[in-house]
Amino acid sequence: MGIMIGSGIFLMAGSIAREVDSIALVIAIWALGGLLSLAGALSLSELGAALPSAGGLYVYLAETYGPAVGFVYGWSAVTLIHAGSIATMAAAIGFYTASLLGLSPVQQKLLQVLCIAFFTVVNSLGVSAGKHVQNALTVVKVAGIGLMVVLLYWRGNPAMLHANMFAHARPVHATTIGIALVAVLWAYDGWHIISFAAGEIRDPGRTLPRSLLIGTVLTTAIYLLTNVAYYAVLSPSSMRASDRVAATAVEHVLGSGAGVLMSILIVISILGAINGVMLGAPRVNLAMARDGLFFRQFARVSRRTHAPVVATVAQGLWAMLFTLLASFRELFTSYVFTSWIFYGLSVAAVIVLRHRRPGMKRPYLCPWYPMTPIFFILASFGIVVTTFIVDLKQALIGIGLILVGFPLYFVFRYTEKRYPLQAEDRN
């Protein structure tokens, strides 16, 4: 929950309102995003329980489709998916602090870099340090969102909510719903991150599925309640006019001072999500390096903290570079497009391994198989196609980064054969 609940629930409500008018349709799209995330979590739980190694999706893809595909995912994760996620959330902090602190564009960028640097240090101190920071930030953000929702319902206008529930001022097209769904899925993203640290979790066969399922279900419930609360105090036209819907809604009922407190809560929420990604993402680099498919320095862990310090610092530095070079919109589109290609492949691995390795020990089985993974795979395909239609440039950038990974795989594979990884490189 700490990873999933970041800036999306606060930033994307306005973007979705600009695509669809009906409150019922908005809620249906958020519910569909929750169902897709739940289907992914249910499917990934089977893989995580059966293959509880550090690296998450990299491990599942390499096991199912071969090391080349695993490497290409890891390469994409290092260069775009994780760095893009962290940089996008850091950019969101810039949105909310600019008016709060009166920051210039240069000062916003500096603040974003400092936030990433702070969590790089925290997670270099070990998974325990990252966990405690994560839990503290999650408690604060969930409590704050709960208080916000109660206040908005209390001061809301049920008549306005009812009047706009099924209103349709504009025709609704499949691409419109697809664009809105992509925005919603970014708000849900992060449900898979905990699998990256599976090798450091006690009893992963039991803990990992519970974490994925409970966190995804509760996050979906929070998102649905929060979106209805927004519309209880703001009209659809007001929603479309704002990129800071949560702060606008609270200011509407409690005044500008409450909007400042809301902005602080949102920043805390985003900080928690950044920390969660920084906690899990470097484990992909670690797993790749241990397989001889990445720079061997990334295979090293601290003797004192057992953290992959080199991988963590490198991930942080790369994310800082992204914050300086790319806009929020560019980061968001390329990141979502690229990540969902690999999410679809990872969930398809459940079906492939069921057929290829029926005797594999599976402490947890995906319920409603095969419909659950098939539902997710079809949705992943739809998201990728939609991005090609509405933003071809960013889709091609994502495809280009993926394709670059294949020749790099053979370079690292050749290097590993010539200079095998030594035991001391893992320490």
Residue 3 lies in a domain: no
Residue 355 pLDDT exceeds 90? yes
CA distances from 14 to 21, 37, 72, 100, 292 (A): 11, 21, 34, 20, 45
Residue 51 pLDDT exceeds 80? yes
CB 274 within 8 A of CB 6: yes
Question: How much is the pLDDT for 168?
Answer: 66
Mean confidence (pLDDT) of the chain: 82
HSE toward the beta carbon, residue 152, CA cutoff 13 A: 27
Question: How much is the pLDDT for 300?
Answer: 82
Question: How much is the pLDDT for 200?
Answer: 63
Binning pLDDT at 50, 70 and 90, where does residue 167 land? low
**Tens of pLDDT, residues 398-423:** 788 888 888 988 888 887 766 665 55
Residues of the chain above pLDDT 90, percent: 14
Choose among 309, 221, 245: nearest CA to 5: 221
Residue 1 lies in a domain: no
Choose among 157, 10, 15, 84: nearest CA to 398: 84
Binning pLDDT at 50, 70 and 90, where does residue 64 land? very high
* Residue 378 domain boundaries: 8-426
More confident residue, 198 or 154: 154
Rg of the chain in Å (alpha carbons): 21
Question: How much is the pLDDT for 422?
Answer: 58
Residue 33 pLDDT exceeds 70? yes
Rounded CA-CA distance 415/408 in Å is: 11
Residue 114 pLDDT exceeds 60? yes
Binning pLDDT at 50, 70 and 90, where does residue 201 land? low
Residue 420 lies in a domain: yes
Question: How much is the pLDDT for 331?
Answer: 58
More confident residue, 299 or 371: 371
Rounded CA-CA distance 427/310 in Å is: 11
Residue 67 lies in a domain: yes
CB 89 within 8 A of CB 273: yes
H helical segments located in 241-327: 245-254, 256-280, 282-290, 309-325
Q: Which long-range contacts (CB under 8 A, 24 or more apart) does 178-182 make?
A: 178/382, 178/383, 178/386, 178/389, 178/390, 179/19, 179/386, 179/390, 180/15, 180/16, 180/19, 180/20, 180/26, 180/29, 181/29, 181/32, 181/33, 181/383, 181/386, 182/333, 182/336, 182/383, 182/386, 182/387
Q: What is the pTM of this model?
A: 0.80
Mean pLDDT of 179-187: 81
Count of domains in the chain? Answer: 1
**CATH number (domain holding residue 275):** 1.20.1740.10
Choose among 31, 43, 376, 86: nearest CA to 208: 43
Question: How much is the pLDDT for 169?
Answer: 62
Choose among 427, 306, 318: nearest CA to 76: 318
128 phi-psi bin (left φ>0, alpha ψ -120 to 50, beta other)? alpha
Residue 318 lies in a domain: yes
Query: What is the total residue count of the chain?
Result: 427
Residue 350 pLDDT exceeds 90? yes
Would you give the end-to-end CA distance of the chain in angstroms?
32
Residue 183 lies in a domain: yes
Out of 59-63, 99-103, 183-187, 201-205, which region has the weakest mean confidence (pLDDT)? 201-205
Residue 173 pLDDT exceeds 90? no
Choose among 341, 335, 379: nearest CA to 82: 335
Question: How much is the pLDDT for 22?
Answer: 81
Most confident region among 21-25, 45-49, 345-349, 414-418 by mean pLDDT:
345-349
Question: How much is the pLDDT for 185?
Answer: 83
Mean pLDDT of 291-320: 84
CB 333 within 8 A of CB 377: no
Rounded CA-CA distance 356/349 in Å is: 10
CB 310 within 8 A of CB 298: yes
Residue 224 pLDDT exceeds 90? yes
Cβ-count burial 277-286 (b if 16+ within 10 Å, e if not): bbbbbbbbbb
Q: How many CB atoms lie within 10 A of CB 23?
A: 24
**Tens of pLDDT, residues 280-304:** 788 888 888 888 888 878 888 878 8
Give the single-character DSSP code of 422.
Answer: P
Residue 28 lies in a domain: yes
Question: The tokens of 147 are what?
Answer: 């208080």
Residue 2 lies in a domain: no
Choose among 3, 33, 1, 15: nearest CA to 390: 15
Residue 31 backbone phi and psi in degrees, to 5: -65, -40
Out of 91-100, 189-198, 244-253, 323-332, which region has the weakest mean confidence (pLDDT)? 323-332
More confident residue, 16 or 305: 16
Residue 362 pLDDT exceeds 90? no
Question: How much is the pLDDT for 304?
Answer: 81
